[in-house]
Structure 1
């Protein structure tokens, strides 16, 4: 029989915690223990001893008559199959139905670890076979997970509910199927398990069988023979055929089709069985599905079509096979919009050439990136961008997340692609936020290149307004300095900030307004900012209108801007030159007091 010293030696993790006391347990009387020992320490001592089956240590503690909880010990002893310790603790009133740990109750712990005699002992002492707790939910699910036929039979014989839901797999049948235990599945079905019951994630038993990486055709056959719905859809509309196709279970795919599976049934992330097979490049399955009438152009799922899916996976033989079966290379739908966009985003030159050779439209619009050129540009794929341009891609077309290819390359800091696009005529005027995009990400070289090609340093557009605002918000100090050196108007940025705080843009300031003063000085971008935020272009002050002020000082572009926004073309009055309002006065008069 092991000694206390042996216990301490073997349980190194607990040695520091208990070494000051376990050596003296046998000599302590009850009164002394009540003053020295903490109750939880004694309970933990029993738990550890039970875990290793040290019955002698437990008996020493029990003989002292201490009133402590033995339930942790019962759970540990049951889990590890120490039947004599289980019996000892039950005799000292340990509760057989208490939730004791990861597996739930002592019965569940014994069931999942295959301790048949302990399971029988616990049941004989009143363990609830349908108690719900722990990771598997119930004892029957725990036994089914490990494929313990005898324990499953024992639990069923004592009233275990074969259709009860609970735990990570929900029912015992789902649990057995997920691990490929066909004999346990047969036992459960023979005792009334519902083959069409829904499990975790709303999946069916048939889906679970088909989706298992080690799927057994005998298990699928068993479910189908007992009435499993071959076309039942689980969460997000997924079917068993999709699952089998995704995993490449050829014989199961064939069996499901033989039982009437709808080859074109849609649902789930992969859309159809054909798309699911293409996602994992399962060539034999793809061929079988096509031979049985799979619609090559059906639009469903995240990727839209099977051709887009294959293109996203850079799967040349799959793309060729689908095209040979009549796939439309320009059909839209899904995340990428077209197969060409998918191939372009993946920087897959072979696929891009293959699709273009079969008629893919390089300027087809759709999907997240808008067009193939934008997709290639955002990835910085210089060779692909050149290939698409050589095949007729429009460098200035708009659409998608980045709007233009130039903005996409600028936003992601791809210097070579930005240069390539500019060399092929990318219009800075068509890409009003390219500079802002580059400034936001702090790519100094790209910012410099765009400025050298005539980008307007004060242009408004995009999420952050001007390039200076974008650089400032993101703390890209090098870009801020570069923009200022190229004439970035810091006043515009401050005006925007004050407008955001609710400054009154139509307030009369000494016989004039902010719009009048900006027009008088020719601050085009500030005038633009003010009129966009509702400034009254025809307000008459002591010094006339804003358009009159701009006209007197020959700021023709400002006059044109005001006229575009409804200003009346009135000749300026013959008055003395008005006093200009300083920015400091504007700041004092219009900044909210709480700021």
Structure 2
């Protein structure tokens, strides 16, 4: 019964809220299973009248939910009546400097500049000047705003350091570092200035940040995972977080070996996986970037058998791309040649369906077993037959003649599913 006040607050039923509290039906500070009170909910919906009544009835203006979020945090980002709701809460004693579990202050959730200002938010010119490289104007603002300004963020949660890194403003970044800015501060998507610098390929800024103790191991977030319900990890507060890319992943995507080397020398981990389970090595292989692959393979701690979310190892990637020299390199480093992915495919299964005979031969010479079955019961010969790869069929038959008689789970031998008559002749 106590929870009725939450529904009443949501629907802005002011008189009913008052009646429920006065009659003792609902404690004014009642919270649901995630700590949400009526004041949180009224603030979230911009229900000013309900906010005022709840405060009048003794609601705690600084109550916190499980994520340490206060009603003022919600009011700042409300869909309507932001300013009036914020003003009501401030009048009722809400703390504009309160930080939630992620360290965010209420102003950071406000899109309206007047609301941000009301909550003690920074001058928006601070971020504009950082992006545009206007040093003198920045110095003036820093002199006026001091340490409180230097670590403030814009409407997207970006620090001035991230803005400077995005726009290649090295001198601005030096100034901000001199003023003690947090070079590891993350925006709403989890990006740090180092992520931004890796994305632009600016090695000077990457160097500056690393010298200022920027951490190359921080991962950003795959935000669309929140809506799909796919969770990978927990942060220190127990909140589920879908970790994604570190700066090294981004450098691999960009094919920037200079930036990648800087990150690796600073302690970037080649084993870190993104939301899809990919390491920087997987990404370099996807991009067919031989130079980047060689750089990553040369690193201590590289796992040559690391599988992505589908359990595809680096050898699986190479099998589909026909990189014989790199296959030999991985094998020399101890790669498991018969490692199977989620569907039971080995690298040889993948190579057999392509049109690259040399890759098939390289894998066979490396010790791949041509008799292994995938989850559908198919051998590599089945894959070559169904895709019409005559020369590959011949090669596989030479190494494993008995594969021609193997039935898959549907009861078919390779000849039964051959793409054309020529393949059937080869398999006869």
TM-score by length of 1: 0.42
Contact 1:304/1:335, CA 8 A, preserved across alignment = no
Q: CA deviation at 1:136?
A: 6.1
Q: Distance in 1 between matches of 2:323 and 2:187?
A: 35
Structure with bigger helix share is: 1
Aligned: 1:182 with 2:236 = no
Give the alignment's Cα RMSD to 1 decimal. Answer: 3.6
Tell me the residue number matched to 2:86: none
C-alpha offsets along residues 546-592 of structure 1, whole Å, 9 cap, x if unaligned?
A: xxxxxxxxxxxxxxxxxxxxxxxxxxxxxxxxxxxxxxxxxxxxxxx
2:212 is aligned with 1:158: yes
- Which residue does 1:430 correspond to in 2? none
Q: 1:91 to 1:314 in 2, by over 3 A?
A: farther
Partner of 1:117: 171
Q: Deviations over 1:481-531 (max 9, x none)?
A: xxxxxxxxxxxxxxxxxxxxxxxxxxxxxxxxxxxxxxxxxxxxxxxxxxx
The alpha-carbon distance between structure 1 residues 322 and 130, as it changes in their structure 2 partners (threshold 3 A), is same
Alpha-carbon distance, 1:199 to partner: 3.0
Q: Which one has a bigger Cα radius of gyration?
A: 1
Does 2:276 match 1:207?
no
Judged with a 3 Å threshold, the aligned counterparts in structure 2 of structure 1 residues 283 and 320 are, in CA distance, closer, same or farther, namely: same
Q: CA 1:92–1:260 in structure 2 vs 1: closer, same or farther (change >3 Å)? A: same
- Give deviations 1:44-71, integer Å, cap 9, x for gaps: xxxxxxxxxxxxxxxxxxxxxx989665
* Pairing 1:377-388 to 2, within 5 Å after superposition: none
Q: Aligned runs of 1:16-415 on 2, under 5 Å?
A: 72-83=124-135, 86-87=138-139, 90=142, 93=145, 95-100=149-154, 104-135=158-189, 137-167=191-221, 169-209=244-284, 211-217=285-291, 219-269=293-343, 271-300=345-374, 304-326=378-400, 328-333=403-408, 339-340=414-415, 342-343=417-418, 348-350=419-421, 353-355=422-424, 358-359=427-428
Give the Cα–Cα distance (whole angstroms) in 2 for the partners of residues 195 and 107 of structure 1: 26
Task: Write the distance in 1 (CA, Å) between the matches of 2:201 and 2:157.
Answer: 16
2: CA distance, partners of 1:291 / 1:275: 15
CA distance in 1, matches of 2:369, 2:395: 13
Q: Normalising by the residue count of structure 2, what TM-score does the alignment of the two structures yield?
A: 0.57
Give the Å deviation of 1:288.
Answer: 0.9
Shift of 1:87: 4.7
Q: CA deviation at 1:336?
A: 9.4
**Partner-residue secondary structure (3-state), 2:298:** helix
Q: Which has the higher contact order (CA 8 A, sep 6+)?
A: 2
State the shift of 1:124 in Å: 3.2
8 Å CA contact 1:114, 1:148 repeated in 2: yes
Output the CA distance in 1 between the equivalents of 2:410 and 2:262.
Answer: 45
Q: Per-residue CA shift, 1:7-51, capped at 9, x if unaligned?
A: xxxxxxxxxxxxxxxxxxxxxxxxxxxxxxxx99xxxxxxxxxxx
User: 1:264, 1:272 within 8 Å by CA — same for their partners in 2?
Assistant: yes
Count, aligned residues: 289
Which string of whole-angstrom CA distances, capped at 9 and with x for unpartnered residues, describes residues 258-307 of structure 1? 21212111124572112232344333222211222211121125683323
- Decide whether aligned partners of structure 1 residues 133 and 320 sit closer, same or farther in structure 2, where only a CA change above 3 A counts: farther
